[in-house]
Chain A
């Protein structure tokens, strides 16, 4: 493989990826800011008593959705496009399509977040965006998927790499679950009664657990061997993990005591306990691939991906624990649930995606990061932030469950979690700074070269006569 063609492949991704990453970085900052605002309620309850827009019930779901839909999904789509182009060894097919899609996507998120803040949320967790914005998100996702599948179809190497399975499955997963949930519970004629909640749980689990796991692991399985400089151990383990993850993972999500016939939560409990199987397989892959590599990460992308993989295993264990009948009686309806979700979204997914972006950004831009030191700094911020956030929420949740859901006993933990959020916010600012300055530099260079192109022929023509 010669470097020149690699450069061409990377360059073909440049504009679409910048469009996806730029908005994503902004939403990460906005989302974490909203999360900080929401958690201020636990420091001073009447802070937003006269300001509905920032009150807890508005800011909290807006924060969740800004991080998930604003950052996680578009940034992951960008990373996915690059991985597909690289694995296929072709330039990105239809590069214009994802550029348009990125703008539609971020517009959709904007409309959705504003709607939640002004009280137009649908009232379903993780599905709060109103109809108009869901349509935009759905269309944008399909557009990106078209480009990704077309690039995949052009591949030179016919055999699939494990990341392919995870990422391709994710491309099918999202439109299916998103369309189902929106048509059946957000549309003008929703299904009746508690079926709404069942579909809501099914959607949330398939998005937050299955989709994020598929994409996060697909990305990790691409970057881990690449950064460790040794092959993935092994493709059969990955295949086993893939099958068991999608077969069992998709049945989780219905909580134990839900007001639905017993068979629904019972199936979920069984499926959750079976998740131990893919978790073991993934742990084996990660450990065997990483150990034995004589690469020291020193806070670079390799560290991000290693930390993310560990967080994935931990959040998976927490998911299994909270489905286990005796433990669930203590932690149900407590902050243990949000702790698990935050660990999955921020600790596992966001960190892996940030690491991947740092790894691929200098390549697609063809120049170094403007603030390389920020990478290590952000890693520390994120690690600390996640440990503080998820740790205090998880311990606080257990405490809350043991103490009759008394908010007073949980408040110290919630306040500690604000500190975690502040660290994460700082980290996200560093991330945004790198991306924006990089984009700015590139735009300036572009303008310079345009000016040069415009002025150059003139000089020549002046010289000639």
Chain B
């Protein structure tokens, strides 16, 4: 400390001052170049503020193209969307049904049946009157909620409900739906549960 004050010529009691030499142009140019490069980097890696895009993915389009498409997996993903807009209001997004509105699909023996004939008929014709689901009796009615859907879409919905919520059953193909439509013919009417039971699974 004392060493320093001795060797320091100016009284350090004076307040410091600053010179006024300007910043050279190249510093500004460098800043602009870096800003531009930064923009390019962000364009490639930033996902443009999409909340679903995480690194290493670059964009929502890329991520979309990576979603599983082939085989049953794709049908399930599509079926989920269709289910939520067509059936979910009554049967619930979780497939647990709603009291006095619709029986559950999760664990339902109608859904988990080995064959798909009854299952394809229900949304195409509707179902009314007393039916038993998971040893509980329901006495409501459902219109032909799936009749307006194209074959492939209805097949996707049914595949989705069969493979979700622990149901663990296999695929329903568009051909299955087509066959059921052909069997029903031009004039669908809601079937009763008993009528339905007469049909093979």
Interface residues of A (CB under 8 A from B): 1, 3, 6, 86-87, 89, 157, 161-163, 221-227, 229, 231-238, 240, 244, 256-257, 259-263, 265-267, 269-271, 273-274, 276-277, 280-281, 294-302, 358-359, 362, 368-369, 372, 375
Contact = CB atoms under 8 A, between A and B. Distances in A.
Contacts of A375: 1
Interface stretch (B33-41, B73-81, B110-118, B144-152): B33-41
B12 to A, nearest CB: 5
Nearest to A285: B18
Interface in B107-146: none
Interface stretch (B21-29, B170-178, B188-196): B21-29
B41 A232 contact: no
Given A262-B53, A269-B41, A277-B34, A294 B9 contact: yes
B54 to A, nearest CB: 5
Contacts of B20: 234-236
Nearest to B56: A262
B55 A238 contact: no
A1 B10 CA distance: 14
B27 A240 contact: yes
B4 A302 contact: yes
Contacts of B15: 1, 86-87, 89, 157, 161, 226
Contacts of B30: 277, 280
A270 B52 CA distance: 21
A231 B16 contact: yes
Contacts of A233: 18-19, 21
B125 to A, nearest CB: 45
Contact of B1 (A256, A265, A270, A369): A369
Contacts of A265: 55
B181 interface: no
Contacts, number: 148
A9 to B, nearest CB: 10
B46 A263 contact: yes
Interface in B146-190: none
A233 B42 CA distance: 35
B14 interface: yes
Contacts of A263: 42, 46-50, 53
A267 B8 contact: no
Given A229-B10, A240-B23, A256-B55, A267 B46 contact: yes
Contact of B13 (A1, A235, A281): A1
A161 B38 CA distance: 32
A266 B30 CA distance: 20
Given A1-B13, A236-B20, A297 B31 contact: no
B49 A232 contact: no
Contacts of B18: 161-162, 225, 231-235, 238
Nearest to B40: A270
Given A86-B15, A261-B52, A274-B38, A362 B21 contact: no
The 8 tightest CB contacts between A and B, nearest first, are: A229-B10, A300-B4, A270-B38, A235-B18, A225-B16, A266-B46, A232-B18, A262-B47
Chain B residues touching A, majority SS: loop
Contacts of A261: 47, 49-54
Given A231-B19, A235-B18, A368-B2, 4 more contacts: A161-B17, A262-B53, A277-B30, A301-B4
Nearest to B21: A234
Contacts of A302: 4
B56 to A, nearest CB: 9
A270 B41 contact: yes
Contacts of B7: 295-296, 298
A362 B16 CA distance: 19
Contacts of B16: 161, 163, 221-226, 231-232
B54 A234 contact: no
A129 B30 CA distance: 41
A358 B12 contact: no
23 contacts: A3-B13, A162-B18, A224-B16, A232-B17, A234-B20, A234-B22, A235-B19, A256-B55, A261-B51, A261-B52, A262-B55, A262-B58, A263-B46, A266-B42, A266-B45, A266-B47, A267-B46, A270-B42, A273-B37, A274-B38, A277-B30, A277-B34, A300-B1
A89 B16 CA distance: 12
Contacts of B53: 261-263
Nearest to B4: A300
Given A231-B18, A261-B47, A261-B53, A236 B38 contact: no
Nearest to A89: B15
A420 B57 CA distance: 42
Given A235-B18, A262-B47, A6 B13 contact: yes
B9, B13, B21, B41: residue with the most chain A Cβ atoms closer than 10 Å: B13
A266 B41 contact: yes
Contacts of A296: 4, 7
Contacts of A266: 41-42, 45-47, 55
Given A87-B15, A238-B18, A267-B42, A281 B57 contact: no
B45 A262 contact: yes
B61 interface: no
B4 A298 contact: yes
Contacts of A157: 15
Contacts of A271: 38
A6 B11 CA distance: 12
A163 B16 CA distance: 10
B3 interface: yes
B1 A358 contact: yes
B124 to A, nearest CB: 42
